[in-house]
Amino acid sequence: MTSVEYYDEKVETASREEILRIQFNKLEALLKKVYASNQFYRKKFDSYGITPSAICSLNDLQKVPFTVKKEFEEEQEKHPIFGTNLTEPLENYVQYHQTSGTTGKPLKFLDTRESWDWRGKCACYVMKAAGVRKGDRIFFPFNFGPYTAFWIIYEGAYQLGNLIIPAGGWDSLQRLQSIIENQATVIPVTPSYAIRLGEIAYENHIDIANSGVRIIMLSGEPGGLVPGIREKIQHLWGAQCYDWIGMTEVGAWAFQCTEQPNAVHILESEFIAEIVDSEAATPVQEGKVGELVLTNLGRSCMPSIRYRTGDLARVKKGLCLCGRTFQLLDGGIIGRKDSMVIIRGVNIFPNVLYDIIENHIQSEDDYRIEAYRGKEGDEIAIQLEIGDNSRKEEVQRAIQSEIKKKLNLRIEVKTFTKGTFPKSDYKAKRFIDRRKESSV
């Protein structure tokens, strides 16, 4: 075992009782503050007949109503610009971000100086768990847009006192040259862009596998916990990959440590995570899959309380070799509730297919998965973009046969010429859901 880095060892290795005590104390303070001056939550709690004084233990959290994304959306629509989920006067807010709007109208989120510091602190936990040390140079290979994802890693790096190298406004080649020239050691990036940068380095004879880069921090898409993707990135970069999970609505709430290739820790000192049956909305048995519900404890200015994420997860029992006592989620996010495709009675999440596809393609290739409504229910078509025409048939057959073997399903696999799919240096859109469109 390599030496484990902690951000706050006392908290990260605390007993279960201590973690629950930290959570309750923070929850109590949050509810009091929010109820006193947040119009959105006060109205919501009043309509359920709940006051903060009714919450005397963590078990009482179940009395608090859930929040769903649609409520936030309607709220901002009805009360432009920022809605009424604001606990402080508008002039106290210093940071603006928004969601990408892939599942609806973008949601606007604001932070005060205090909540922004908290978001950065969450990122510090994430970075230390990935093994970031004093002296590491953190390289950001993209433009900083209105999405929070990498802004908070930037803030975390600043708080930790690491050198930050921003590389927006450059092309991929300039970024790679700067990584080498400035001896960057840590790259926060999306999995698809990590692969694309690796591919460009290879084409341009830039030896990134033997550069100083030792840590790739992945987020934004499934990757760090999909073995096929993780291994490809590790091979291209000669570095270790670590996943972390965040949402604009809640913050960076889970991270991979150096000792768990297939699970993430929940940042339990800053978030309360519940796993509920997505239909009945009651807690599932430990170890069973359910919908993840999150409460962020350090963002009272614009909180998300019992927020239904739509993500499915399951708790992994047992302790981690890293010494952290924060609970683990087996495989991270298993999939989104709405991305499950049921093909002839078999439940499939895109992640399972990503893993199979990645086993057979090369870094110059690309792929997308399209779900649609067929005559007999959900169907999936895999679209492959293969760089070398002579490999098309072989790759197509290999993927089809592995799917048949592992899932006992026949899935259509089509091939396309390289350059057909749109490319992005942020997120690749790999899952296209056409099931709500008219059936084909």
The label of the residue with tokens 């769903």 reads 68
Q: Which lies closer to Zn ion via its Cβ, residue 184 or residue 254? A: 254
Nearer to Zn ion, 329 or 341 (CB): 329
Toward Zn ion, which CB reaches closer, 324 or 360? 324
Q: Which is nearer to Zn ion, 31 or 264 (CB)?
A: 264
Residue (13 or 84) nearer to Zn ion, CB: 13
Among 324, 360, 368, 430, binds Zn ion (CB under 5 A): 324
Which of these ranges, 138-146, 150-158, 312-320, 420-428, lies near Zn ion under the rule CB under 5 A?
A: 312-320
Least gap, CB of 258 to Zn ion (angstroms): 7
201 binds Zn ion (CB under 5 A): no
Q: How far apart are CB 254 and Zn ion at their closest, in Å?
A: 11
Choice from 320, 333, 334, 356 touching Zn ion (CB under 5 A) = 320
Q: How far is the CB of 314 from Zn ion (least distance, A)?
A: 17
Binding mask 257-296 for Zn ion (x = CB under 5 A): x-xx------------------------------------
Q: How far apart are CA 373 and CA 438, in angstroms?
A: 8
Q: How far is the CB of 268 from Zn ion (least distance, A)?
A: 12
∠ CA 200-201-206, rounded to 5°: 150
User: Of the two residues 81 and 319, which places its CB atom closer to Zn ion in the complex?
Assistant: 319
- 276, 309 contact by CB (below 8 A): no
Q: How far apart are CA 50 and CA 19, in angstroms?
A: 25
Give the shortest CB-400-to-Zn ion separation in angstroms.
37
As measured in angstroms, the least distance from the Cβ of 313 to Zn ion is 16
> Hey, CA dihedral for 120, 124, 126, 127, is it positive or negative?
positive
For Zn ion, what does the binding mask look like between residues 359 and 398, x meaning CB under 5 A? ----------------------------------------
Question: Site for Zn ion (CB under 5 A): which residue of 322, 334, 357, 413?
Answer: 322
Pick between residue 128 and residue 324 the one whose CB is nearest to Zn ion.
Answer: 324
Shortest distance, position 240 Cβ to Zn ion, whole Å:
14
Tell me, by CB under 5 A, how many residues bind Zn ion: 6
* Nearest to Zn ion of 61, 263 (CB atom): 263
To the nearest whole angstrom, how small is the minimum distance from the Cβ of residue 2 to Zn ion? 12
Give CA–CA dist 431/416, Å, rounded.
16
Question: Binding marks (x or -) toward Zn ion, 220..259, rule CB under 5 A?
Answer: -------------------------------------x-x
- What is the nearest approach in angstroms of Zn ion to the Cβ of residue 265? 6
CB 35 within 8 A of CB 45: yes
3-state DSSP of the chain: CCCCCCCCHHHHCCCHHHHHHHHHHHHHHHHHHHHHHCHHHHHHHHHCCCCHHHCCCHHHHHHCCCECHHHHHHHHHHCCCCCCCCCCCHHHEEEEEECCCCCCCCCEEEEEHHHHHHHHHHHHHHHHHCCCCCCCEEEECCCCCCCCHHHHHHHHHHHHCCEEEECCCCCHHHHHHHHHHCCCCEEEECHHHHHHHHHHHHHCCCCHHHCCCCEEEECCCCCCCCHHHHHHHHHHHCCEEEEEEEECCCEEEEECCCCCCCEEEECCCCEEEEEECCCCCCECCCCCCEEEEEEECCCCCCCCCCEEEEEEECEECCCCCCCCCCCEEECCCCEEHHHCEEECCEEECHHHHHHHHHCCCCCCCEEEEEEEEECCEEEEEEEEEECCHHHHHHHHHHHHHHHHHHHCCCCEEEEEECCCCCCCCCCCCCEEECCCCCCC
Per-residue x/- mask for Zn ion, residues 5 to 24, rule CB under 5 A?
--------------------
Q: Which is nearer to Zn ion, 314 or 392 (CB)?
A: 314
Residue 299 or 316 with smaller CB distance to Zn ion:
316
- At position 323, the amino acid (one-letter code) is G
**Could you tell me the smallest distance in angstroms from the CB atom of residue 133 to Zn ion?**
17
Applying CB under 5 A, which part among 16-24, 299-307, 317-325, 386-394 lies near Zn ion?
Answer: 317-325
Residues 337-366 that bind Zn ion (CB under 5 A): none
Nearer to Zn ion, 130 or 275 (CB): 130
Which positions touch Zn ion (CB under 5 A)? Answer: 257, 259-260, 320, 322, 324
